[in-house]
Amino acid sequence: MRLRLVPKETSWDFFSKAKLTLGISGFLMVLALVSFVIQGLNYGIDFRGGTTIRTESPQPVVVAEYRAAMEALELGDVSITEVFDPSFGPDENVAMVRIQAQDGEEAVTNETIQRVEEALLALDPQMTFPSVESVGPKVSGELIQTAIIAVVLAIAAVLVYIWLRFEWQFALGAVAALVHDVVLTIGIFSELQIRFDLAIIAALLTIVGYSLNDTVVVFDRVRENLRKYKKRDLKEVLNLSINETLSRTVMTSVTTLLALISLFVLGGDVIRGFVFAMIWGVIVGTYSSVFVASAILLVLGVKRDWSKPDNTSGNQFGAVDP
């Protein structure tokens, strides 16, 4: 007996309330932008600047104990990660303690660094501090700029790819869905004030790829059905295509979410922000591939030029493989 999350055959009308779904998406995007303008993001050390202290000890690293010692100092965003390396001996236990720059200061002061070292030495008197590195505000500003460029270039590359693979209407629909996903993800991080660092940028780029994959699967079926049902209305073809790919879309999203939720619960604080971004991205990405990308395509329409052979019908670059 095979597991099915949706019936084998469905005939749901995904565009009966297209104006409502697009309106909700637009409203949520406006809220996200307003939250971003008013509250901003809770930037982590990568974007705010700070100091990284490398510790080494013959005793095993217990992150919970390190974190408890840091919380007593009230230093704000402190990230603690254990460093694993095959070359390390049994008495080489290394951790990285990252402290954000305090309000009104361009860098972590020597006094703050000394307080941190004293708190850690209270846990383990044999602990040493081989290196202390600081990230200044200039470098952090460059990281923000680079991160923005990376996301914009990823979306631009998607626009070109879909334009070549399908037609410009498909490209605009896909890019609208990606912008929708990225804006809502940034909005939820702004609203909840979850720490925003380079790992979240990696999550945004992953979300772009995931959402694009879902959208391309639907658009491929749309193109096939446009050739197969030449006299059907575009709305009917879109509904048929989404229903035919719905089982695959839901199964992919649910299995991905199962893994992500497990990581969110069991993975620890270090990756929790990244995993939360991925969970949110999978949800809004699945939604946008059905209710945003396809709805935009319905609004723009598709040129159906049946004078061309089937393998390039309605698409001058139809022979280009993904």
What are the pLDDT tens digits along the chain (322 aa)?
466 666 667 778 888 888 888 889 999 999 999 999 998 888 777 777 778 888 888 888 888 888 888 888 877 777 788 877 777 777 788 888 888 776 556 567 788 888 888 888 888 888 888 888 776 655 556 777 887 888 888 888 877 877 877 778 888 888 888 889 989 999 999 998 888 888 888 888 888 888 888 888 888 888 888 888 877 888 888 888 888 888 888 888 888 999 999 888 887 666 888 899 999 999 998 898 888 888 888 888 876 654 444 444 444 433 333 3
Close Cβ partners of 212 (under 8 Å, ≥ 6 residues apart): 158, 162, 174, 178
- In the chain, which segments carry CATH 1.20.1640.10? 18-41+140-312
pLDDT at 304: 63
CA atoms within 13 A on the CB side of 188: 17
Would you identify the CATH topology of the domain 50-135?
Answer: Alpha-Beta Plaits (3.30.70)
**Are 162 and 286 a contacting pair, CB within 8 Å?**
no
**Are 295 and 18 a contacting pair, CB within 8 Å?**
yes
Amino acid, single-letter form, for residue 76:
G
**Rounded Cα gap, residues 161 and 317, in angstroms:** 11
Structure tokens at 198: 């380079």
**Rounded Cα gap, residues 28 and 26, in angstroms:** 5
pLDDT at 139: 58
Helices 198-228 and 269-291 meet at what angle, rounded to 10?
Answer: 20
Domain 18-41+140-312, second-level architecture: Up-down Bundle (1.20)
**Comparing C-alpha atoms, which of 200, 215, 213 is closest to residue 278?**
200
pLDDT at 315: 43
Q: Strand pairing of 195-196 and 42-43?
A: parallel
**Rounded Cα gap, residues 301 and 46, in angstroms:** 44
**Are 69 and 123 a contacting pair, CB within 8 Å?**
yes
Beta strands per DSSP E along the chain: 42-43, 50-57, 78-83, 93-100, 128-135, 195-196
Rg (CA), the chain: 25
pLDDT at 306: 45
CB atoms within 10 A of CB 193: 12
| Cα three-residue angle 18-19-22, rounded to 5 degrees | 85
